[in-house]
């Protein structure tokens, strides 16, 4: 019986090298984003469901992906001024090149090749959850501007389930997040709404309460269940946004 373990030692220097929040750059970036960039660029920012955010414990924010602005709006609505927490973004390997990559790596981001994810990047996601961090993973895997929820990738569910299975009682939560702009490609004085839904409890999807790695078949089955439920919740949030005449 094969297992699908990505077990790893406790949070270590390798993990810190993959994703760290600079003690000087991170607070500066949050301050500029919250006080200057977002308020001056957007005409209106509506935030719904902030009561669903927790100030502690391991969390994965699972947002729809509608524009590059998403990675600025999400910290504005859920970052250190709201929850007291810095966010760790899982981004595509194409986004961590050059100057942009230098900033991303120092603001808690880490790269994954979506076409062929490496064991180290997936293990790093597990490490972060086991250290009770807040992660952001875009489950659709790319930007879609049509306001529809597209098929979700299974990687988010796999990381969450393996982290919870390796250390029971972590209490990992997956929070669906839907973003909607008033136009497909937001520009200066556009409007945006971000909505947070109720959390999904990852432990409730585990087939056993024993602390052990999941078998490959168990991981496949439970990841499908969690992904399906996340799809339903994201679709509900997105449909509600589309039905509201916000703009």
User: pLDDT by residue (tens digit) across 200-210?
Assistant: 999 999 998 77
pTM of structure: 0.90
Q: Which residues of the chain have pLDDT under 70?
A: 1-18, 114-118, 245-247
Helices (H), 196-244: 216-243
CA atoms of 29 and 22, how far apart (whole Å):
10
Residues 6 or more apart from 200 whose CB is under 8 A from it?
Answer: 173, 174, 175, 176, 226, 229, 230, 233
- The 10s digit of each residue's pLDDT in 110-156 is 888 766 666 777 889 999 999 999 999 999 988 999 989 999 999 99
CA atoms of 90 and 88, how far apart (whole Å):
7
């Amino acid at each position: 019986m094969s297992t699908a373990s990505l077990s790893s030692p406790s949070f270590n220097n390798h993990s810190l090298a993959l994703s760290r929040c600079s003690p000087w750059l991170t607070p500066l970036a949050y301050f500029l984003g919250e006080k200057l960039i977002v308020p001056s660029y957007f005409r209106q920012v509506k935030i719904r469901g902030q009561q669903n955010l927790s100030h502690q414990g391991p969390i994965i924010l699972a947002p729809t992906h509608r524009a590059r602005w998403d990675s600025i709006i999400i910290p504005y609505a859920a970052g250190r001024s709201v929850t007291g927490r810095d966010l760790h973004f899982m981004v595509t390997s194409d986004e961590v090149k050059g100057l942009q990559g230098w900033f991303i790596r120092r603001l808690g981001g880490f790269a994954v090749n979506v076409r062929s994810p490496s064991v180290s990047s997936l293990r790093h996601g597990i490490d972060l959850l086991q250290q009770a961090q807040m992660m952001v993973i875009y489950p659709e895997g790319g930007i879609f501007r049509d306001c529809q929820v597209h098929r979700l990738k299974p990687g988010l569910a796999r990381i969450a389930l393996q982290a919870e299975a390796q250390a029971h009682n972590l209490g990992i939560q997956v929070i669906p997040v839907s973003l909607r702009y008033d136009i497909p490609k937001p520009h200066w004085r556009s409007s945006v709404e971000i909505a947070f839904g109720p959390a999904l409890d990852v432990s409730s999807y585990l087939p056993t309460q024993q602390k052990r790695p999941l078998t490959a078949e168990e991981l496949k089955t439970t990841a499908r269940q969690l992904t399906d439920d996340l799809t339903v919740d994201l679709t509900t949030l997105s449909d509600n946004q589309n039905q509201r005449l916000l703009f």
